[in-house]
Amino acid sequence: MGVLDGKVALITGGGSGIGLATSQLFASEGAQVAMFDRNADLVNETAREIGSSAFAISGDVTSEDDVARMVASCVERFGRLDIAFNNAGIAGAAPIHDHELSHFQHVIDVCLTGVFLCLKHQSKQLIAQGQGGSLINTASINATQATKGLSAYCSAKAGVAMLTKVSALELGEHGIRVNAIGPGHTRTPMTERARDVEGFDEAMIGATPLGRLGEPEDLARMALFLGSDASPWVSGQLFYVDGGITVNELPPGFNLLEAQPRQPRGD
Ligand code: NAI
């Protein structure tokens, strides 16, 4: 018995990293999973590895035609939609004064407009089915935490957090829950280049109360909770899954416990 027995889930960015781990976990918990990704070879291969409960759809979240086809293909194959995980994303750093408009717009298109298009077409399907559902968006700790070089990415992820709230407000009357997950630094292909920078991993781990980087499965478990009937009264929220790094307001690596205490004033 899986907690998602009889459910149909749609996962964008399903070919890699967090989306792939979530597709695998959902399938192992009994869901039928439609995996959507712009990398056709990758998503075909990974869906084949999961087996008959998974189905690959290739396309781009920035194209409304592709997103509409994604939802239609899922329904054609599995008969319905219950859960969607809008997770496809890209990063890419540039300083504001030297940021190409085309790159800024592309990050916004994929990370923010792509989530809007998914919510639009998925909610239309869920409203037509009339049985509610769960929509989950991938934001980031960068929804509220600024990082140098990531003006487009941080802006897009802050937008996802607000889009999540507005959608939850609008769709609640249809029994549709909408939540967001904010990953901390997680070991996936997206973060490989950052992890090549000397000292980066150590700084992140040093600032993280739980003392390690995230694994894709850490995020998949939160998606499972939000997608399943274990969270029936949870909507409109952004959940950080980050080892606790967002409660650390000190510079990375700074340890207050090791700081020399000052002389108490006045005595
Ligand atoms: P990843 O690079 O391993 O996987 C992303 C997948 O999305 C890839 O398979 C890629 O082909 C697909 N994709 C990208 N653009 C697409 C598009 N336009 N249309 C369809 N598919 C597209 O990355 P990862 O780390 O698994 O990221 C997943 C989500 O988590 C992203 O939204 C990312 O911003 C977010 N995130 C990741 C963090 C991390 O540390 N890995 C931290 C915070 C947020």
List pLDDT tens digits, range 43-61. Answer: 999 999 999 999 999 999 9
Say what the pLDDT of residue 188 is: 97
Following DSSP, what letter does each residue of 102-120 receive, concatenated? HHHHHHHIIIIIHHHHHHH
Q: Which of 36, 78, 153, 239 is catalytic?
A: 153
Count helices and strands in the chain by DSSP H and E runs? 9, 7
* Percent of the chain clearing pLDDT 90 (strictly above): 85
User: 105 with 153: CB under 8 angstroms?
Assistant: no
Mutate to test the pocket of ligand 1, among 16, 43, 60, 105 (most ligand atoms within 8 A of CB): 16
Q: Is 16 in the pocket of ligand 1 (CB under 6 A)?
A: yes
* Ligand 1 centre distance from Cα of residue 205 (Å): 21
Q: Is 240 part of the annotated catalytic residue set?
A: no
Mutate to test the pocket of ligand 1, among 11, 18, 246 (most ligand atoms within 8 A of CB): 18
Measured CA to CA, the distance from residue 214 to residue 138 in angstroms comes to 15
How far is it, in rounded angstroms, from Cα 94 to Cα 261?
Answer: 39
DSSP run (H or E) holding 19: helix 17-28
The reported pLDDT for the residue numbered 249 is: 67
**Category of 58 on φ-ψ map: left (φ > 0), alpha (ψ -120 to 50) or beta:** beta
Structure confidence at residue 92 as a pLDDT band (50, 70, 90): confident
The finding on whether 138 has its CB within 6 A of some atom of ligand 1 is yes
Overall average pLDDT of the 16-37 stretch: 98
- At 122-153, the pLDDT tens digits run 999 999 999 999 999 999 999 999 989 999 99
CA 26 to each of CA 19, 53, 91, 138, 184: distance values in angstroms, whole numbers, following the listed order:
10, 10, 26, 16, 21
Q: With 60 as the cut, is the pLDDT of residue 220 above it?
A: yes
**Confidence grade of residue 267 (pLDDT, cut at 50, 70, 90):** very low
